[in-house]
Amino acid sequence: MKKCVIGTFLILFFSVCSFGTQARNIELVDVPTANSMLKAELRYDVKFYAGGGVLNRIYVGVFDRLMIGAALNVTNLVGTGQIQVILPPKLLGKFRITDDEGGVPAISLGYEGESYLDMYTRGVFLSVTKEIALGSVFMQLTGTVYTNQFSDIIMNMDMGAGAAFAITQDFMLCAEIDSLFRDSSLNLNCGISYRFDPITLEVILKYGLGEEDVRHSRVLRLTYISYF
């Protein structure tokens, strides 16, 4: 029942968007897209989340299809409490296998070794992203399957899916459902972002629809992009 309600919400959310342009985002809120960075692109983003935690990530575009990076999570950095640095830094990476051309979607294989809040670590993931032109509107759809447990991949596989709309080149809306196969940690996430070149500011709302309770939190993400 929860998933039907969430699906209806997403359809209504997407239908109110009347303008859009193509976007080159490497993830929605938390769900990775199949998009990759450009060669010689440097990207740093930081997520400020509940409890004073800060997730730091840095990526480098090795070439147009391959990006690598590292993540460092620090808890209780903002506010009171004992600061804890989660060591060692975790590996990030993505390789785009196909481009989004014609009837073929973009497909990427990647790895995320770090998570935040009460999320499961994503581990190895396979993302499929397709942009659909509806007149002047571009709707970007993404589905991602992932697992961090390799002893029984099928039984431990999870999934996230969602869409993004670039209302202008600088203003973007996105929404996603994450942890679709785990009723205890099902998440509905929405984000609103605006780019003040070279920095993008994004406000994220996360709703956890677990089996026992409903949790919500706010996340602030700052992204800096440069080239070398």
Could you confirm whether domain 2-222 is CATH 2.30.29?
A: no
The Cα 223–Cα 59 span in angstroms is 11
Q: Per residue in 213-227, pLDDT tens? A: 557 889 999 999 999
Position 221 scores a pLDDT of 97
Position 17 scores a pLDDT of 38
- Assessment of whether the complete model's pTM goes beyond 0.95: no
Provide the percentage of residues in the chain whose pLDDT is more than 90. 61
- Of 71, 146, 176, 149, nearest to 116 by C-alpha is 71
Helix (H, G, I), strand (E, B) or coil at 52: coil
Position 85 scores a pLDDT of 94
The Cα 108–Cα 155 span in angstroms is 22
The Cα 16–Cα 173 span in angstroms is 11
Q: Which helix (H) or strand (E) holds 203?
A: strand 199-209
Position 16 scores a pLDDT of 37
- Of 149, 138, 112, nearest to 127 by C-alpha is 112
**Alpha-carbon dihedral sign for residues 64, 130, 133, 10:** negative
Residue 8 has pLDDT above 50, yes or no: no
Position 59 scores a pLDDT of 98
Confidence of residue 211 (pLDDT cuts 50, 70, 90): low
Q: Per residue in 122-179, pLDDT tens? A: 999 999 999 887 766 678 999 999 998 877 777 789 999 999 988 878 888 999 999 8
**Ranges of H-type helices in the chain:** 2-15
Give whole-number Cα distances, 123 to 15, 94, 157, 167, in Å: 32, 11, 10, 31
Q: Where are the domains of the chain?
A: 2-222
Q: Per residue in 27-76, pLDDT tens? A: 999 999 999 999 999 999 999 998 899 999 999 999 999 999 999 999 99
- Say if residues 146 and 154 touch (Cβ distance below 8 Å): no
Q: Which helix (H) or strand (E) holds 214?
A: strand 214-227
- Say if residues 174 and 163 touch (Cβ distance below 8 Å): yes
Residue 73: partners with Cβ closer than 8 Å, 6 or more residues away: 53, 54, 55, 56, 85, 86, 90, 114, 115, 116
Residue 94 has pLDDT above 80, yes or no: yes
